[in-house]
Structure 1
Amino acid sequence: MNTTHVIVLVAYVALMIAVGAWFGRKKATASGEDFVLAGRSLPAPVIGGTMLATFVGSGSIIGGANFAYTYGLLPGFLFFTGTIVGTILLIVFARQVRGVAGHTVPELFDQRYGKPVRIVATVMILIAFIGITAYQFTGAGYIIGLITPLDEQTGAIIAAVLITFVALSGGLKSVAWTDFLSAAGIVLALWVALFLVVGVDVGGVSELGAVNADAGVLGGLTVIQMLGFILPTLVLLLGDQNMYQRLAAAKSDRAALLGAVIFCLGSVIMVVPVVMLAVSSALLQPDIEADMAVLSLSGIEFTPAVIGGALLAGAFALIITTGSSYLLTCSSNVVHDLVGQLRSRPPNGAQNLWIGRLAVLAVALLGFVMVNFFPSVLALQMYAYTMYGVTITPVLLAGIFWKRATGPGALAALLTGAVATLYWEISGRSAELNSVIVALPAAVLALAVVSLLSHRRVPTDVKVP
């Protein structure tokens, strides 16, 4: 156990608790609107920081690092192209998204397709987001296991408690501001570690190209297999309810647009050191568990104790805030798309606040159970991203940009995408080819065919976004 690492991590946890407690005050979070959308008050830097920290959690520091460690430098960068392309498209769509975004994506589906689509979409979102929350627990457990004598399972339990606390306290206000601080901290730690590890331990950037080079340009993967790792991130990002909520929480259209730009630039700045550090780890530590590719470089044999501690604390920060964000968005789905629709009299603001907090607890427990059914963070990441991306994203984009999309078409896409993903995962075929390659075309085809067959002239009094 490294005392410096422990001190740095404890200082970070204390800061997160303080920020959560500050925004959890009754004055700062007085209603469901404050809890879910931060009172629509966030400035552009905070929007960009929270979008970055929300999307770059265990999936990047552990899942993406696992991939780069296993397949090499070029495949590692290609893995993240879905993230970069998705952020660019969000810049294009930012103002339009803010104009139509409400509390949740299913709320938009209700306006566009009807209540049945809203309910089914809510179930799909919860299934996917519980998975994304689950692997944040695992990632944070890895870090606690590295820093303390505790095992990874105990660390995951501690992480689950902390993640749940941050989400329960101040809602999006506390999550967004802790995200902003976490994003700044991890970027600094990653780049300092990169210069030390690549420049000193590895001996230069040129050495990194040798990792898995004899397996071919794509590290032994076919083009279709590589696409199977790129697409899940892209389709999740384009339809991610977290991104839409954050754009909706901006204090103005201009803040939303600038926030999306900051998110795009931050993604590039974040991806470069993650990939290069993971590939460096493959050279320096060829026999470690791939999930630990970046985190293990915090050891004093690679980086000074303070830098290693900052790297672990920064990664821990991203994971905590990502987990909190997904817990929070699941909570908003339960409040607005399930309870709010099933009750004859919608809950008031104070009731929504408490229902949301109970939902956070329930989702956290389900996530902790789910994580035990997948062999690695990367495997769970690909499943969760695909489940959301092939069901929600086609329906969402069609609802905004295609006037011929219909309720039956949306239902067909939701169900087809979910069934195809689950079949591919349960049958074990995802070990060779990720399910997105099959499920996404199937969902889009179902949406297009059923919508065209069921399309009727839209009444003039019905607004189509």
Structure 2
Amino acid sequence: MTYIVAISAYLVLLTIFGLIVARKKVKTSDDMVTGGHRIPFIILVGTLLATWCGGGGITGSASVVYTGGPWVGLITFAAPPIGIILLYFIAGKVRKSNKVTVPEIMGARYGKAASIIAALCVMLAYVGVLATQLKAAADIIVLLCASSGIEISHGLALTICTALIAIITVGGGLVSVAYSDAISALLMIGGFFLAIPFLIGVANSQGATLPPEKMTITGGMSGWELLGYFLPSLALMLGDQNMLQRFASAKNSDEAKKSNIGMFIGEILVIISIVLVVTQAAKLYPTLDVPSNVIFQVAVDYLPLAFGALVMCACMAFIVTTADSYLLSSATNLTNDIYVKYIRKDATDKQKMLVLRGTIIVFSFIAVALTLYFPTVLSLQMTAYTMYGAAITPAILFALFSKKVTPAGGMAGILVGGLVTIIWTLMGTPYGIQCAIVAVPASVIAILIVSAVTRCNDPKRSLEALYQDN
């Protein structure tokens, strides 16, 4: 019962805090989407970290560490820090361009068609990811209620989680999300590091050790398997619209770059904490039916009540911060890249805010529907999310840095990256090679070849024009 009270209190307080901040700081649609380009440095660092470190880190990635061992965990978790180092050079460019979504950048360099395709791709992927986060949050509540002798349906738990996340997001957009994320980031790091000494003590007192196969560098995995875990994460981070949107919310380009350094430090701490917690759990649980639940299981079974509750709140923080970010980002796409550009170009600020908030609510319902009624579609959404790193990231990087890329080249990269991902997935990932290993290089090659044989005669599509007067 204590776990339920703790998580409920965390969610309610987080919602109230987000609404209070939003009431004071949100006046326009720009405040909703970018925080008025005035998000403070420490808050920006917190929201960058919390946005990236989502439920996947404590479920899917945790299961990789549990299955392969700590060295495999460190190898696969190395992608985000490397991506953050590269993002340092991207952050200033994004802020300088004054664009807040991926389709905006695509449209500026590649034209209308690329902008629309990118918007649809991002919305499809992000609503799917939102659905998985909502399901994970509901699973935690159902699990903890069951352990306390309380029966609650998954649908009710899902409704509660969705309502709170939607309220935080619709109340103040990026402002409430960013400030709530900063609190959650502190809770994530603090909760896990406080739990580590207790788990080490329990494992040592029981004489529990890791199996020999989990102590090897590769954990029994092939190089292709390790690369298959590493590359999609790296490709996604470099083109993730959530990251770009937060860089756009910084006061200036220098502030955006500095926030990236803070994110790097925070990410290292998160990686260390997850690997250490799961490693100790792997000692205590030689086998688990559901490896993705390893952190939840060890928190409930082995930690003192107060620390177990803190870790479970931290787990919920991982999930909530990812869910509200993807919800806001996908709603921003429909508002900025579809409604304002092609439906009502003369929309007032009040109309933009109304559409943005309405879209947040609609997308929340769609995500719930995916979770409740279309589990197979949900898996397709995750395939689309994997496709994001191949179809979007190469094209967005060329758009930000390359003078020679042409609109035809950018479109070729988007289409080839997406098609190769779909075809490779339908073929059942031949030879065990993950689709990102094939699709990302294919996208890059397509951009280079097509750009080499085509020209861009429109000066508005040049690299210089992207940063002009911004």
Query: TM-score scaled to structure 1, two decimals?
Result: 0.91
Change (3 A) 1:63 1:374: farther
Change (3 A) 1:353 1:205: farther
C-alpha distance in 1 between matches for 2:192 and 2:207:
16
Q: What residue is the counterpart of 2:10 in the other structure?
A: 12
Change (3 A) 1:460 1:418: closer
State the AA in 1 paired with 2:297: S
C-alpha distance in 2 between matches for 1:12 and 1:415:
43
More moved, 445-454 vs 392-401? 445-454
Q: Does 1:130 align with 2:127?
A: yes
C-alpha distance in 1 between matches for 2:261 and 2:207:
28
Q: Does 1:145 align with 2:142?
A: yes
Change (3 A) 1:157 1:204: same
Change (3 A) 1:381 1:269: farther
Change (3 A) 1:211 1:362: farther
Q: How far is the alpha carbon of 1:147 from its aligned partner?
A: 1.9
C-alpha distance in 1 between matches for 2:439 and 2:338:
26
Q: Does 1:444 align with 2:444?
A: yes
Task: Output one character per residue of 1:231-251: Cα deviation in whole Å (capped at 9) or x when no partner.
Answer: 111111111111111111112
Is residue 199–residue 205 contact of structure 1 (8 Å, CA) maintained in 2?
Answer: no
Change (3 A) 1:289 1:144: same
Is residue 66–residue 278 contact of structure 2 (8 Å, CA) maintained in 1?
Answer: yes
More moved, 86-95 vs 37-46? 86-95
Is residue 124–residue 418 contact of structure 1 (8 Å, CA) maintained in 2?
Answer: no
More moved, 49-58 vs 425-434? 425-434
C-alpha distance in 2 between matches for 1:380 and 1:309:
34
Match of 1:193 among 176, 192, 195: 195
Is residue 184–residue 317 contact of structure 2 (8 Å, CA) maintained in 1?
Answer: yes
Is residue 47–residue 182 contact of structure 2 (8 Å, CA) maintained in 1?
Answer: yes
Say which SS state the counterpart of residue 25 (structure 2) adopts: coil
Q: Does 1:453 align with 2:453?
A: yes
Change (3 A) 1:189 1:381: farther
Task: Output one character per residue of 1:365-413: Cα deviation in whole Å (capped at 9) or x when no partner.
Answer: 3333445766899x78973542211111101110111111111111111
Change (3 A) 1:208 1:93: farther
Is residue 110–residue 411 contact of structure 2 (8 Å, CA) maintained in 1?
Answer: no
Q: Does 1:268 align with 2:265?
A: no
Q: What residue is the counterpart of 1:176 in the other structure?
A: 178
Alignment coverage as a number of residue pairs: 458
Is residue 52–residue 266 contact of structure 1 (8 Å, CA) maintained in 2?
Answer: yes
Matches within 5 A, 1:351-430: 351-371=351-371, 383-429=383-429
Q: How far is the alpha carbon of 1:291 from its aligned partner?
A: 1.3
Q: How far is the alpha carbon of 1:284 from its aligned partner?
A: 1.5
Say which SS state the counterpart of residue 59 (structure 2) adopts: helix
Unmatched 5+ residue regions in structure 2?
A: 147-151
Q: How far is the alpha carbon of 1:355 from its aligned partner?
A: 0.7
Matches within 5 A, 1:12-411: 12-25=10-23, 28-149=25-146, 150-152=152-154, 154-202=156-204, 207-208=209-210, 210=212, 212-213=214-215, 217-285=217-285, 286-299=287-300, 301-371=301-371, 383-411=383-411
Give aligned-pair identity as a percent. Answer: 30
C-alpha distance in 1 between matches for 2:67 and 2:375:
18
Say which SS state the counterpart of residue 148 (structure 1) adopts: helix
Q: How far is the alpha carbon of 1:135 from its aligned partner?
A: 1.6
Q: What residue is the counterpart of 2:435 in the other structure?
A: 435
State the AA in 2 paired with 1:120: I
Change (3 A) 1:68 1:166: same
Q: CA RMSD in A?
A: 2.6
Unmatched 5+ residue regions in structure 1?
A: none
C-alpha distance in 2 between matches for 1:204 and 1:435:
42
More moved, 168-177 vs 433-442? 433-442
C-alpha distance in 1 between matches for 2:180 and 2:401:
34
